[in-house]
């Protein structure tokens, strides 16, 4: 796969270059960008496209070698050689943990983002740019629509244009409105005649491959437009729910979170705000399922005219009706203990990020007796216990920082308003703003110009 890069700096009109030029002109962070490059046509097109509009020192290419195929190391070296010809710095990140017996693809994806996030922090990058295309968007929408009975389901907004990973790395996807064939046409125009084909892309055991083949003969032209409208509705709903969290919610010490029941707010806004509180207080790893959402709707619909005292258990939390307020607190069940070695950091109960700053003493973390189940700390199980409340900082040689449910793990940009409101309520630091400023303007958040080219 020999490449001739002499034409990569040509400025012939190209849809890909126009898209990436617009993307770069709307970035407010001018630090170098990271590019996730596997060597496939999509990521190679992203690499060459950005190389055509940015100087080499403004780009760092990163390849994750999962070690899942014998050829993966050679492929990473091939990508490195292409970056060298472009004058772009390249690093290979290797997944060295043991591979799980089940859920291999999900584990590999999680490992890939963790490796990219660590590299992004170490290298001081503005963001990580990935090459998800319009074809990927259509495939994702088709898979999620097949699993959902509601056109308003969150997943039907598709792949977000930007996602914050673990509060530290923005993943930006500027090619969601560009087809794979457009990218390949650009590569051919630059005399790039080869790229890496992942054998798994032809393996029909994977759902995405089967869906891709179905879409080759049946392209849903309206699908991407529908997803953009759903994403815009989600952003507006998140903004209204964030305003309700700011105006109607409070928390003091170890007391449950209180939300004044606002009869003037729409049911959708109240539900979104409550789901966010449940997500936070329960340390959610996934959203409420259909049964949970139905139980929450039934609970809320029963409140007008009912007596105080009703309660529902949802997502490891208890939601209570108390007079004109609703309260949300962690349910006292499935509370694990955590023993942390000197200098270790970890997550307790999916709700607190804890670092043991002692160089000599271990730290034991368990559930305290407070309402809401806050962490209880003991040194080597010999010293007196010290309880830490939500707004405390460094105490006794360790740090304890509240996590905010799924927002602290993977946060789509259209849910950023809710995440920021939760951060204010928790009395902790805010989430980093998305550096892609075009996404700050609500009408442009996901309103992509959907191209109707047939996926390849």
CATH number for the domain harbouring residue 182: 3.40.50.620
348 shares its domain with 392? yes
Are 108 and 115 in contact, with CB atoms under 8 Å apart? no
DSSP 338: E
Tokens for 201, please give them.
């892309």
Bridge partners of residue 425, in order along the sequence? none
pTM: 0.86
Is 439 a domain residue? no
Q: Considering only the C-alpha atoms of the chain, give the largest distance between any 2 of them, rounded to a whole number of Å.
A: 76
How far from 65 is each of 61, 108, 124, 199, CA to CA, in Å?
13, 10, 21, 15
349 shares its domain with 393? yes
Is 183 a domain residue? yes
The helix (run of H) or strand (run of E) holding residue 355 is strand 352-356
- Measured in degrees and rounded to the nearest 5, phi and psi for residue 111 equal -65, -40
Which of 133, 224, 141 lies closest to 187, judged by CA?
A: 133
b/e map 24-40, b = 16+ CB within 10 Å: bebbebeebbbbbbbbb
Is 451 a domain residue? no
262 shares its domain with 127? no
Query: Torsion over CA of 100, 103, 104 and 105, rounded to 10 degrees?
Result: -160
pLDDT at 383: 47
Are 209 and 202 in contact, with CB atoms under 8 Å apart? yes
| Cβ neighbours, 10 Å, residue 343 | 12
DSSP 98: P
Residues belonging to the chain: 456
The helix (run of H) or strand (run of E) holding residue 208 is helix 207-216
The helix (run of H) or strand (run of E) holding residue 250 is strand 249-250
Three-class DSSP category at 235: helix
| Cβ neighbours, 10 Å, residue 441 | 10
pLDDT at 450: 34
Is 442 a domain residue? no
178 shares its domain with 213? yes
pLDDT at 215: 63
Tokens for 144, please give them.
């999620």
Strands 257-260 and 311-314: unpaired
210 shares its domain with 249? no
Establish how many alpha carbons lie within 13 A of residue 107's alpha carbon, considering only the half-sphere containing its beta carbon.
13
Chain-centroid distance of CA 253 in Å reads 29
Please list the pLDDT of the chain residue by residue as tens digits (456 residues). 434 444 444 555 589 999 999 999 999 999 999 999 999 999 999 999 999 999 999 999 999 998 778 888 999 999 999 999 999 999 999 988 766 767 777 888 899 999 999 999 999 999 999 999 998 898 888 877 766 645 445 556 789 999 999 999 999 999 999 999 999 999 999 888 688 876 566 555 666 556 666 666 665 555 555 667 778 889 999 999 999 999 999 998 778 999 999 888 999 999 999 999 999 999 998 999 999 999 999 999 999 877 788 999 999 999 999 999 999 999 988 898 999 999 999 999 999 999 999 888 889 898 877 666 888 888 865 444 555 443 344 456 889 999 999 999 999 999 999 999 999 999 999 999 999 998 765 443 433 333 333 332
The number of distinct structural domains making up the chain is 3
- Measured in degrees and rounded to the nearest 5, phi and psi for residue 338 equal -140, 125
Helix, strand, coil: what percent of the chain each, to 5?
A: 40, 20, 40
248 shares its domain with 284? yes
Bridge partners of residue 400, in order along the sequence? 354
Distance CA(376)–CA(390), nearest Å, equals 12
Which residues make up each annotated binding site for ATP? 38-43
- Structural domain boundaries enclosing 272: 238-332+414-429
244 shares its domain with 390? no
Helices marked H in 148-266 = 180-189, 207-216, 223-248
191 shares its domain with 304? no
- Measured in degrees and rounded to the nearest 5, phi and psi for residue 370 equal -70, 155
Using one digit for the tens of pLDDT, what is the confidence trace for 197-238?
A: 765 665 556 665 566 666 666 655 555 556 677 788 899 999
196 shares its domain with 274? no
Which of 158, 285, 300 lies closest to 220, judged by CA?
A: 158
Is 383 a domain residue? yes
Is 140 a domain residue? no
Phi-psi region of 54 (alpha: psi -120 to 50; beta: other; left: phi over 0): beta
Using one digit for the tens of pLDDT, what is the confidence trace for 315-330?
A: 999 999 999 999 999 9
Is 180 a domain residue? yes
Are 361 and 379 in contact, with CB atoms under 8 Å apart? yes
Is 141 a domain residue? no
254 shares its domain with 301? yes
Radius of gyration of the chain (CA): 24
Which residues make up each annotated binding site? 38-43
308 shares its domain with 424? yes
Distance CA(278)–CA(293), nearest Å, equals 11
Using one digit for the tens of pLDDT, what is the confidence trace for 233-276?
A: 899 999 999 999 999 999 987 789 999 998 889 999 999 999 99
Are 362 and 338 in contact, with CB atoms under 8 Å apart? no
Are 17 and 42 in contact, with CB atoms under 8 Å apart? no
422 shares its domain with 348? no
Q: Which long-range contacts (CB under 8 A, 24 or more apart) does 213-218 make?
A: 214/142, 215/135, 215/138, 215/139, 215/142, 215/455, 216/454, 216/455, 216/456
Residues 6+ apart with CB under 8 A from 401: 352, 353, 354, 428
């Amino acid at each position: 796969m020999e490449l001739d890069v002499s034409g990569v700096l040509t400025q012939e009109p190209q849809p890909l270059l126009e898209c990436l030029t617009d993307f770069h002109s709307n970035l407010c962070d001018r630090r170098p960008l990271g590019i996730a490059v596997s060597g496939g046509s999509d990521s190679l097109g992203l690499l060459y496209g950005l190389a055509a509009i940015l100087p080499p020192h403004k780009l760092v290419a990163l390849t994750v070698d999962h070690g899942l195929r014998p050829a993966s190391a050679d492929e990473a070296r091939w990508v490195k050689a292409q970056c060298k010809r472009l004058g772009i710095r390249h690093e290979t990140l290797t997944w060295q943990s043991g591979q799980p017996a089940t859920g291999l693809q999900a584990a590999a994806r999680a490992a890939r983002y963790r490796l990219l996030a660590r590299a992004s922090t170490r290298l001081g990058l503005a963001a990580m740019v990935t090459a998800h295309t319009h074809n990927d968007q259509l495939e994702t929408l088709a898979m999620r629509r097949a699993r959902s009975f509601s056109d308003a389901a969150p997943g039907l907004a598709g792949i977000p244009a930007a996602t914050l990973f673990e509060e530290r790395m923005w993943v930006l996807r500027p090619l969601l409105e560009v087809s794979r064939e457009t990218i390949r046409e650009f590569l051919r125009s630059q005399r790039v005649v080869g790229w890496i084909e992942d054998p798994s892309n032809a393996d029909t055991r994977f759902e995405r491959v089967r869906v891709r083949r179905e879409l080759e003969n049946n392209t849903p032209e309206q699908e991407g437009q529908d997803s953009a409208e759903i994403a815009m509705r989600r952003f507006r709903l998140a903004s209204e729910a964030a305003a309700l969290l700011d105006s109607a919610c409070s928390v003091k010490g170890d007391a449950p979170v209180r939300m004044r029941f606002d009869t003037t707010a729409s049911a959708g806004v109240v539900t979104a705000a409550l789901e966010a509180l449940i997500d936070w207080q329960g340390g959610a790893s996934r959203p409420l399922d259909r049964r949970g959402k139905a139980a929450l709707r039934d609970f809320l619909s029963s409140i007008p005219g009912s007596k105080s005292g009703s309660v529902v258990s949802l997502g490891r939390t208890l939601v209570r009706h108390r007079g004109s307020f609703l309260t949300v607190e962690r349910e006292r069940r499935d509370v694990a203990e955590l023993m942390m070695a000197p200098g270790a950091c970890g997550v307790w109960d999916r709700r607190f990020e804890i670092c043991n700053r002692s160089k000599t003493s271990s730290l034991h973390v368990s559930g305290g007796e407070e309402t809401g189940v806050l962490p209880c700390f003991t040194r080597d199980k010999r010293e007196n216990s010290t309880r830490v409340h939500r707004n405390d900082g460094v105490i006794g040689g360790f740090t304890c920082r509240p996590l905010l449910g799924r927002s602290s793990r993977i946060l789509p940009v259209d849910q950023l308003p809710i995440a920021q409101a939760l951060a204010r309520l928790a009395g902790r630091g805010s989430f980093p703003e998305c550096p892609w400023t075009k996404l700050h303007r609500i009408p442009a958040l996901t309103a992509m110009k959907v191209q109707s080219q047939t996926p390849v």
